[in-house]
């Protein structure tokens, strides 16, 4: 099955193919719940060595709460935390004033790097989050695929356009409004930018089922 055969109707298969096609992509989310379902699908379908960068202690704490749902076995996931103290129970921890050291470490990685942030880097440090992400994507080694998750509402439209330009594909996930669904929330997955010819702007819908699984909306 190819990307051409999936887009734009089937969210679950589309996310699987983004992973298997070794693309760099960013997910802007308005609600963290469907974003976690997408992250779970990435963890399920990725065969790579996975490194997760959690920006801030609250992000690391949220990650720890959800590790059981996200298929994060200790033998396949390495967690890095970026915080103010340089101390945490992650595998590695860097302070906000050690961004250069962190990027040097990332330049030696292979497999998949998943960056989790909520638009907090600009608040915690004088370093622009856009500059930091550009440095990561610009200097990443050939064997490292980067997937980022961040809050849509933390940025302006200009910010979102600039972030999107750093990745092969940019996605926006949000709750579908004004739809009566008998208590079941429906989420929209928008392709808002793509440099891949077969991936065009479009929208699919999905639900989050048991154990935070993506379910295509019929």
Identify the pLDDT of residue 179: 58
Total number of domains in the chain: 1
Residue 3 lies in a domain: no
User: How many Cβ atoms are within 10 Å of 133's Cβ, its own excluded?
Assistant: 21
pTM, to two decimals: 0.89
Distances (CA, A) of 120 to 25, 105, 123, 175, 218: 19, 21, 5, 23, 36
Identify the pLDDT of residue 1: 47
Residue 70 lies in a domain: yes
Residue 31 lies in a domain: yes
Residue 207 is part of which domain span? 11-215
C-alpha Rg value of the chain to the nearest Å: 17
Q: What is the mean pLDDT of each run of 10 residues along the chain (218 residues)?
A: 53 83 92 89 85 93 85 81 93 92 93 85 65 89 93 89 94 80 78 88 82 71
Residue 112 maps to which CATH number?
3.40.50.300
């Amino acid at each position: 099955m190819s990307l051409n055969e999936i887009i734009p109707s089937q969210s679950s298969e589309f996310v699987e193919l983004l992973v298997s096609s070794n693309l760099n992509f960013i997910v802007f989310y308005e609600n963290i719940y469907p974003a976690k379902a997408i992250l779970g699908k990435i963890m399920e379908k990725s065969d790579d060595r996975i490194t997760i960068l959690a920006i801030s202690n609250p992000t690391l704490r949220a990650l720890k709460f959800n590790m059981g749902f996200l298929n994060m076995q200790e033998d396949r996931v390495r967690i890095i935390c970026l915080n103010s103290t340089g101390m945490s129970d992650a595998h590695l921890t860097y302070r906000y004033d050690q961004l250069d050291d962190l990027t040097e470490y990332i330049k030696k990685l292979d497999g998949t790097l998943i960056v989790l942030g909520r638009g907090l880097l600009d608040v915690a440090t004088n370093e622009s989050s856009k500059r930091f992400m550009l440095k990561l994507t610009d200097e990443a080694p050939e064997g490292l695929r980067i997937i980022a998750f961040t809050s849509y509402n933390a940025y302006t439209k200009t910010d979102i356009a600039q972030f999107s330009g750093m990745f092969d594909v940019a996605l926006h996930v949000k709750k579908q409004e004004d739809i009566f669904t008998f208590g079941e929330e429906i989420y929209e997955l928008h392709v808002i930018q793509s440099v891949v010819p077969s991936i065009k702007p479009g929208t699919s819908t999905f639900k989050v089922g048991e154990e935070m699984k993506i379910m295509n909306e019929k």
